[in-house]
Amino acid sequence: MLNIGLIVGSTRPERFSDKAAQWVEDTAADRSDLKLTRLDLREADLPFFQEDLPPLMSGGKFEHPKAAAWEERLSAFDGFIATVAEYNYGPAGVMKNAFDNALNGWTRKPIAFVGYGGVGGARAIQALRVTTSGLRMVPIGPEVNIAADTFMAALTQGKPLGGFDHLNAALGTLLNETVWWGNALKPARNAG
């Protein structure tokens, strides 16, 4: 059983990310190969990066208590799934900042993306693939894109995401691939 952190990647009051996270949780609830735990960036309440040293120079030691707690919290997980909002063709600033405020808790773990927006968060996800590669993570190929009419139906008419077959199929593939990489990387990571 893999421990997977479900990052709720936006923090504004009426965020859509809650709907996306709930759907991922509901879909994964019956699986015996992974256990999801929410990592809500609203609760993490991270400072904008404030460390004296870049993480690679400090060895991933964070002085700010909330950043240190975030780094420590991430260490418990075998991989991650992130809900991804697209703000101005990129990820939300709070999401990028969450990646900057940890190092060892991310490294050598898979991360999968569930994006939403006009083009399903595709541009924000592309940017996060680069960022997470910099952290020596493994960005999972299959992604979920809640896009266009589907996104608008969920956003403005309250249509449940689980009512869309193409989204359920994409999420199933994403979960399978996350588990595959999680199982592949865990023993290698533990071996040092």
Ligand X SMILES: Cc1cc2nc3c(=O)[nH]c(=O)nc-3n(C[C@H](O)[C@H](O)[C@H](O)COP(=O)(O)O)c2cc1C
Q: Does 91 bind ligand X (CB under 6 A)?
A: no
Q: Does 89 bind ligand X (CB under 6 A)?
A: yes
Q: Does 152 bind ligand X (CB under 6 A)?
A: no
Which amino acid is it at 37? Answer: T
Query: Which residues are 84's β-sheet partners?
Result: 115
Which amino acid is it at 64? Answer: H
Q: Min. distance of Cβ 164 from ligand X in angstroms?
A: 17
Q: Does 87 bind ligand X (CB under 6 A)?
A: yes
Q: Min. distance of Cβ 152 from ligand X in angstroms?
A: 10
State the residue for tokens 């595709």. 122
Instruction: Single out the segment in contact with ligand X by CB under 6 A; choices: 50-58, 86-94, 156-164, 172-180.
Output: 86-94
Residue 175 φ/ψ, nearest 5 degrees: -65, -45
Q: Does 159 bind ligand X (CB under 6 A)?
A: no
**Interacting residues toward ligand X by CB under 6 A:** 10, 12, 15-17, 85-89, 117-119
